[in-house]
């Protein structure tokens, strides 16, 4: 049965006295270092995925602009600039990924492993 807030005893060991955020999942009961050990890899993964999405979007918009330029020199140069920027961006993104993998190898840590319950993505 549910207890009212007035009847809660902080020392009863129940889960009623713990405030949790459902979005954090298993990060709710982590200490400070445990929290950051799980948060930093998640942020790095999100940033890498976001970078790939931005690359794809810029590459596609540059290609569409190039196709629809109709021979206009200014539009073709602008489209070439977009495509070139997208390719340079993905090379930088792969370089960052390689540096992260080197850090993982040398320090023996796992930064890019996503562990969600039964699902482990490496």
Contact assessment for residue 55 and residue 86, using Cβ atoms and an 8 Å cutoff: yes
Tens of pLDDT, residues 70-88: 888 999 999 999 999 999 9
Query: What is the DSSP-derived secondary structure letter of residue 12?
Result: S
Dihedral pair phi/psi, residue 35, rounded to 5°: -65, -45
SS3 letters for 28-71? CCCCHHHHHHHHHHHHHHHHHHHHHHHHHHHHHHHHHHHHCCCC
pLDDT of residue 86: 93
pLDDT band per the 50, 70, 90 thresholds, residue 32? low
């Amino acid at each position: 049965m549910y207890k009212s807030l007035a009847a809660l005893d902080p020392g009863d060991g129940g889960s009623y006295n713990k405030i949790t955020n459902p979005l954090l999942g298993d990060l709710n009961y982590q200490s400070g270092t445990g929290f950051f050990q799980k948060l930093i890899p998640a942020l790095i993964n999100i940033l890498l995925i976001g970078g790939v999405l931005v690359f794809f979007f810029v590459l596609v918009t540059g290609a569409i602009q190039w196709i629809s330029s109709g021979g206009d020199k200014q539009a073709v140069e602008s489209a070439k600039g977009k495509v070139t920027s997208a390719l340079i961006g993905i090379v930088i993104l792969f370089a960052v990924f390689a540096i992260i993998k080197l850090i993982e190898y040398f320090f023996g840590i796992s930064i890019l492993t996503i562990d969600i319950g039964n699902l482990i993505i490496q």
